[in-house]
């Protein structure tokens, strides 16, 4: 399959922008799968009303079909056809944070295919804030299932180049809208039960959610395997670079670990911050933001994990990050990427 790449930088040419958006939207409506930027990561979109398009998403990614998809919409009215009820807490959260990096899990209506929900009685929906995503969804005027636009298990893509590296030749097209902002997937919050429950930490923090709804719970299985995942990212290992990644609780232990691995003939990398990038005698160190700015760490995390592949690093040691605010999501992704390896 030949993959088309559209440049959707508005500042270059407004006419070309509209034409590219219109063509990509037509392709979505026709059942093709198209990658596009959101404010979190790039998504791989398919029309949820077309089961073949949904199947094509799973095939392109190599994604297990028991892993539910998130549905993306541009207008809140579209929600009415997807869910059986909208609880008051959901309305308050949508008023506060839609469009934005918040996915809400509702009780699904009968209109939503089991291919999208993985056979669950719930459906995950969000309204992205990125202007390209908004314009594309508005033009297509269909709900679009859109997991991250990467091969299953790989670090999520925050640039069109990342998408191209993984999926060129496997999907119809990529809308190149530059680098995403948040850099981590949306927060997934279940509002289908008695109390809101976070199933995946992400771009919107626990504190921000609690500010609107008061009491909010965190699923105890958040960092473990689940037989019936209610949220994307719960059941399978994700975000992993090709090299072996280990998290290290004490930065002082990293130099010795690096030296030992290099003596064994490995190319060794360290995931760190700007403050300590020069501290490690390794083959490649990636500065993932700054110690005093977890948002910068989140924005660069997946780029860093992919850069280790580019540098052909086969053993990676990562510092750990404070688990508050968006740091909870950062550590969730790192634990997944490391397969639980931590020393």
> What per-residue confidence (pLDDT) applies to 228?
47
Kindly report the average pLDDT of the chain as a whole number: 92
pLDDT digits over 67-116, tens only?
899 999 999 999 999 999 999 999 999 999 999 999 999 999 998 988 89
Question: Would you say residue 205 has pLDDT above 80?
Answer: yes
Q: Contact 151/10 with Cβ under 8 angstroms?
A: no
Which CATH architecture does the domain made up of 244-338 adopt? 3-Layer(aba) Sandwich (3.40)
Task: With a cut of 50, say whether residue 224 has pLDDT above it.
Answer: no
- Give me the sign of the Cα torsion angle 86, 80, 209, 199: positive
pLDDT of residue 222: 67
The pLDDT value recorded for residue 14 is: 76
Task: Tell me which of 286 and 64 has the higher pLDDT.
Answer: 286
Mean pLDDT of 177-190: 95
Q: Which residue has the higher pLDDT, 63 or 81?
A: 81
Q: What is the pLDDT of residue 227?
A: 41
Residue 226 in this model has a pLDDT that exceeds 60: no
* Mean pLDDT of the region 58-65: 90
Percent of the chain with pLDDT over 90: 84
Q: Tens digit of pLDDT for each residue in 269-314?
A: 999 999 999 999 999 999 999 999 999 999 999 999 999 999 999 9
Answer yes or no: are the C-beta atoms of 266 and 315 closer than 8 Å.
yes
- Looking at residue 231, what is its pLDDT? 53
Percent of the chain surpassing pLDDT 70: 94
- d(CA 4, CA 198) in angstroms, rounded, equals 37
The residue-averaged pLDDT of 207-225 equals 82
Domain 4-218 top-level CATH class:
alpha beta
pLDDT at residue 11 in the model: 65
Residue boundaries of the structural domains of the chain = 4-218, 244-338
Yes or no: say if 115 and 68 are a contact pair by the CB < 8 Å rule: no
Judge whether residue 129 has pLDDT over 50.
yes
Which residues make up each annotated binding site? Answer: 40, 63, 67, 72, 122, 126, 146, 148, 156, 186, 200, 239
What's the chain's Rg over C-alpha atoms? 20
> Would you list which residues are annotated within the binding site for ATP?
63, 67, 148, 156, 200, 239
Residue 342 has pLDDT above 80, yes or no: yes
What residues contact residue 94 under an 8 Å CB cut-off, 6+ apart?
76, 104, 127
CB 234 within 8 Å of CB 199: yes
Binding-site residue ranges for L-threonine = 40, 72, 122, 126, 146, 186
What span, in angstroms and rounded, lies between the C-alpha atoms of 116 and 108?
10
Q: Is the pTM of this model over 0.85?
A: yes
pLDDT band for 259, please (50, 70, 90 cuts).
Answer: very high
Beta bridge partners of residue 271, listed in sequence order: 286, 318
Strands (E), the chain: 4-7, 34-37, 42-47, 70-72, 102-107, 122-126, 144-145, 173-176, 187-190, 197-200, 217-218, 244-248, 268-272, 284-287, 315-319
Residue 232 in this model has a pLDDT that exceeds 60: no
Question: According to the model, what pLDDT value does residue 1 have?
Answer: 85
Question: Which pLDDT score, from 0 to 100, does residue 239 have?
Answer: 84
Residue 63: band (very low, low, confident or very high) from pLDDT cuts 50, 70, 90: confident
* CB-CB contact of 60 with 50 (8 Å): no
Residue 208 pLDDT > 80: yes
- Look at residue 223 in the predicted model and tell me its pLDDT: 45
């Amino acid at each position: 399959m030949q993959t088309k790449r559209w440049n959707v930088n508005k500042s270059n040419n407004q006419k070309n922008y509209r034409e590219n958006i219109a063509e990509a939207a037509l392709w979505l409506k026709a059942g093709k799968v198209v990658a596009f930027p959101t404010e979190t990561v790039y998504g791989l979109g398919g029309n949820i009303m077309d089961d073949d398009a949904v199947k094509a998403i799973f095939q392109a990614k190599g994604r297990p079909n028991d892993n539910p998809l998130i549905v993306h919409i541009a207008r809140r009215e579209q929600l009415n056809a997807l869910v059986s009820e909208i609880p008051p807490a959901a309305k308050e959260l949508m008023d506060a944070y839609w469009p934005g990096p918040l996915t809400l899990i509702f009780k699904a209506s009968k209109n939503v295919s089991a291919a999208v929900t993985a056979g669950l009685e719930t459906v995950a929906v969000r309204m992205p804030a990125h202007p390209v995503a908004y314009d594309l969804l508005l033009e297509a005027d269909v709900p679009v299932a859109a997991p991250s636009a990467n091969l299953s298990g790989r670090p999520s893509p925050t640039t069109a180049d990342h998408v191209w590296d993984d999926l060129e030749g496997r999907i119809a097209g990529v809308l190149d809208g530059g680098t995403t902002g948040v850099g981590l997937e949306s927060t997934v919050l279940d509002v289908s039960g008695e109390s809101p429950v976070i199933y995946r930490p992400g771009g919107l923090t626990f504190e921000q959610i609690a500010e609107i709804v008061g009491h909010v719970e965190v699923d105890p299985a958040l960092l473990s395997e689940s037989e019936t995942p209610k949220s994307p990212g719960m059941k399978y290992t994700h975000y992993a670079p090709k090299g072996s990644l280990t998290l290290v609780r004490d930065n002082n232990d990293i130099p010795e670990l690096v030296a030992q691995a290099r003596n064994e003939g490995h190319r060794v990398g360290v995931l760190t911050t700007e403050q300590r990038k020069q501290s490690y005698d390794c083959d490649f160190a990636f500065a993932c933001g700054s110690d005093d700015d977890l948002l910068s760490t989140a924005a660069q995390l997946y780029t860093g994990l992919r850069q280790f592949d580019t540098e052909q690093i086969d053993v990676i040691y990562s510092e750990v990050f404070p688990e508050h605010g968006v740091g909870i999501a950062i550590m969730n992704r790192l634990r997944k990427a490391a397969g639980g390896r931590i020393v």
